[in-house]
Amino acid sequence: MEKVWLVTGCSKGFGHVLVDRLLATTSDLVVATARTLDALRPFEDAHRDRVLLCKLDVTREADITACVAQATERFGRIDVLVNNAGYGLAGALEE
CATH number, domain 4-82: 3.40.50.720
> What whole-number distance in Å separates Cα of residue 11 and Cα of residue 26?
20
- pLDDT, mean over the chain: 92
> What whole-number distance in Å separates Cα of residue 95 and Cα of residue 91?
7
Closest CA to 29 of 54, 11, 2, 10: 2
The domain ranges of the chain are 4-82
Helix (H) or strand (E) holding 55: strand 51-55
**pTM to 2 decimals?**
0.88
61-80 per-position pLDDT tens digit = 999 999 999 999 999 999 99
37-47 per-position pLDDT tens digit = 999 999 999 99
